[in-house]
Structure 1
């Protein structure tokens, strides 16, 4: 059966941007910017994203749109009677493991959002660190909240590309940016906010360490959701003559803008209230509630902020489930619904040990919980391998004539640029990915 298609280019851009804009762009990246040279780091990250992330994003787009098939079938179509289709299986495994622990964090956000909406989250003098520990260490709460997040993901993805993913993304992504604007205005109108803005954006090249540069390298492709073949699947729903260059640039722009807006929304408010910056779960579940408790209408603003995080988490989760479902649905809507529920439940069960990690500290291996090992495997091993294989595949194995045809729709005014692009994919990007991989494994002396 023929695959569904996006109803418009904007639908594809919003869904793809939603896939790329995850929790890391909002709760980790801004703090790394602030502690690694501010505007200096941001400039380096922008250069790497355009020079490294964008070519990799286009590589996945080229694979998906040219074949009109999901990840596994796309590689089979382009390289028949070979083992290259295992890149698709690697992507499926990567996204399944990623969603298994990502849904745990998504469940916490759902739980906190419900508490915020019912006025039960903010209390004067509350120790939010203790509240977070109690929330995550309760096995029933942890698993039920994870199940609730997975249920939301399954229901939307089961409705299809147009009626589910695209429709939800058209609502959630504009909503995310509207919320950001509201929070930025609130943050920038607080007395003493200038110190936070300076902390976040002031260029300081003396703090731009080799570790920070390597982090910027890794983030340049991780932040665009490449390496797991999600974008292969999403671009397979494009028409054969739909452009790729402008949507890719739009997705890069939206992702960079999100990270910038997150920092502007968070740091001025933190400094205005005399609080210390943080990243990761500590920012969302401990620091921000303590911050909003001190603000007028804090209950309203924490609910708005949690809605933002929920939108960002869900739109990423859609693509993680979609790559697995699409490989088995074969364009059949009924089969699609069945596959959504089947794999959604399997991924939920796969994530239960991660959900229980925070209440069962004794279940560790070499000092890491199941949640931490799953995160480590995806971030430091599976995604870099995916990026490396995709880069090599398009650089060396992709049929030359088909690649020339695809390139003409990406950069019609720069036909000779294909040689530069192939040099990047064949030589430059593999070297960079290997460096990022060695750094992630702590095998690179710095």
Structure 2
């Protein structure tokens, strides 16, 4: 008989969902995107869009998952039987499979850098641009570390919800926050750090452009891990007595706090040593090592930082793999161990061309993009906004309004007016915002 897994506590769900959301979005993508889009103005827009647009969609995914109590595909089959809506769930599951196949490549880089830092290869005077180039171009090294990253992910997820994912996040998420605070304090005490704080927190309105707004809106969706069914899956393990709105609020603010801490670790240090904040994706791999090497005990602090990034990267990977596993085992936990090893191995194999996209397959292009860039584009530019759009429509327009308000509000102590506001934001604001991001990403506006 199938047995449904569940979280052992509310805090376990919050830490796991926050871990899914935080990942590379907050620690890697937010700093370099903010750095290339004016800093404080981007951060302010990101904050507004996270609260007003991304959070309502995240709560909609929570509603679908908890109300159905099923995986991403069966959730839509339960709530909208004999319709095409389960294809939204299938799209999310497929997206997680593909997303993890190339996300694990970046996760492998992070683990590789953590090893470099711990063994002393990252030291003052090293050519960090050359080191990063060699790291991502060496086929055997990149596949080895991608394999290590997937092995760690499979090892945790095969343990299940409470014994695997929840237990890992109980240790990793608090450790992440503590390490971040330590690094932020160190960065803020550097001479000249105030310029970096000003860059992050004092808006320069000359950067207030449609492009910055739409980029911030896209980052808000990416940062809360919506549009790939992970939040539907995690919420399916919740009991009806849990407060979805307070949980969603906690997860959102934890994500914003980590984004802020990432900025306070990186930008004061970058400005203190005369580097440019607009370095792009190589910021944590090329610029930050050079910055840390100028700080007393910099080698140790950089090793700590990369360990922290590895933690955050893994917590996101857990949610992606769990979304696929949940759909594969359909509540029968006896199948979990074997299916996790099988699917984890398949994801690794599918990820091999992405891993080699910066080396031996660098010249192999599909529609003008490497395999890595193509998958990234398909997931983040197409599937995430499309899925988020249809989730918003499904909950706000297809489902009966009164039943949505009742089911979403079950176990909640927030005022009913707040729940009605959420549904109205989901009805009128979120779909328009998602369409704008979609059109902007495709270059239509």
Q: TM-score, normalised by structure 2?
A: 0.95
- Aligned to 2:358, the other structure's residue is in SS state coil
CA distance in 2, matches of 1:187, 1:420: 40
- Name the counterpart of 1:315: 315
- Aligned to 1:28, the other structure's residue is in SS state helix
Per the alignment, do residues 418 and 198 of structure 1 end up closer, same or farther by CA in structure 2, a change over 3 Å counting?
closer
CA contact (8 A) 2:242 2:411 kept: no
Q: Describe how 1:223-302 pairs up with structure 2 within 5 A.
A: 223-278=223-278, 280-302=280-302
- Name the counterpart of 1:70: 71
CA contact (8 A) 2:73 2:88 kept: yes
Q: How many Å apart are 1:9 and its aligned residue?
A: 0.8
Unaligned runs of 5+ in 1: none
CA displacement 1:2-27 (0-9 Å, x = unmatched): 31111111110000000000213122
Verify: 1:164 aligned to 2:173, yes or no. no
CA distance in 2, matches of 1:443, 1:66: 37
CA distance in 2, matches of 1:269, 1:364: 37
CA distance in 2, matches of 1:254, 1:38: 20
CA displacement 1:244-265 (0-9 Å, x = unmatched): 1111000110111111110111
- Aligned to 1:22, the other structure's residue is in SS state helix
CA distance in 1, matches of 2:137, 2:374: 18
CA distance in 2, matches of 1:216, 1:96: 26
CA contact (8 A) 1:292 1:298 kept: yes
Q: Describe how 1:6-405 pairs up with structure 2 within 5 A.
A: 6-122=7-123, 124-278=124-278, 280-359=280-359, 360-405=361-406
CA distance in 2, matches of 1:254, 1:19: 11
- Name the counterpart of 1:426: 427
Q: How many Å apart are 1:421 and its aligned residue?
A: 3.7
CA displacement 1:340-364 (0-9 Å, x = unmatched): 1111111111110000000032111
CA distance in 1, matches of 2:140, 2:220: 37
Per the alignment, do residues 442 and 28 of structure 1 end up closer, same or farther by CA in structure 2, a change over 3 Å counting?
same
RMSD across aligned positions (CA)? 1.7
CA contact (8 A) 2:405 2:420 kept: no
CA contact (8 A) 2:128 2:285 kept: yes
CA distance in 1, matches of 2:285, 2:37: 24
Unaligned runs of 5+ in 2: none
Q: How many Å apart are 1:113 and its aligned residue?
A: 0.9
CA distance in 2, matches of 1:266, 1:136: 22
CA distance in 1, matches of 2:311, 2:278: 21
Q: How many Å apart are 1:138 and its aligned residue?
A: 1.1
CA distance in 2, matches of 1:202, 1:48: 18
Q: How many Å apart are 1:375 and its aligned residue?
A: 0.6
Q: How many Å apart are 1:206 and its aligned residue?
A: 2.0
CA distance in 1, matches of 2:305, 2:414: 43
- Aligned to 1:356, the other structure's residue is in SS state helix
Give the count of matched residue pairs: 443
CA distance in 2, matches of 1:409, 1:366: 48
Per the alignment, do residues 80 and 286 of structure 1 end up closer, same or farther by CA in structure 2, a change over 3 Å counting?
same
After the TM superposition, which of the residue ranges 218-227 and 275-284 deviates more from structure 2?
Answer: 275-284
CA displacement 1:53-102 (0-9 Å, x = unmatched): 11101100111111111111111110111111111100011111111110
CA distance in 1, matches of 2:409, 2:200: 40
CA contact (8 A) 1:30 1:200 kept: no
CA displacement 1:349-388 (0-9 Å, x = unmatched): 1110000000032111343211011111111001011101
CA contact (8 A) 1:37 1:202 kept: no
Q: How many Å apart are 1:410 and its aligned residue?
A: 6.9
Q: How many Å apart are 1:279 and its aligned residue?
A: 5.0
CA displacement 1:181-238 (0-9 Å, x = unmatched): 1101111111121122112221112211110011122222221111111101001111
Per the alignment, do residues 100 and 47 of structure 1 end up closer, same or farther by CA in structure 2, a change over 3 Å counting?
same
CA distance in 2, matches of 1:165, 1:71: 18
After the TM superposition, which of the residue ranges 20-29 and 369-378 deviates more from structure 2?
Answer: 20-29
Q: How many Å apart are 1:296 and its aligned residue?
A: 1.7
After the TM superposition, which of the residue ranges 94-103 and 32-41 deviates more from structure 2?
Answer: 32-41
CA contact (8 A) 2:157 2:340 kept: yes
After the TM superposition, which of the residue ranges 189-198 and 413-422 deviates more from structure 2?
Answer: 413-422
After the TM superposition, which of the residue ranges 326-335 and 149-158 deviates more from structure 2?
Answer: 326-335
CA distance in 2, matches of 1:163, 1:183: 30
- Name the counterpart of 2:444: 443
CA contact (8 A) 2:104 2:149 kept: yes
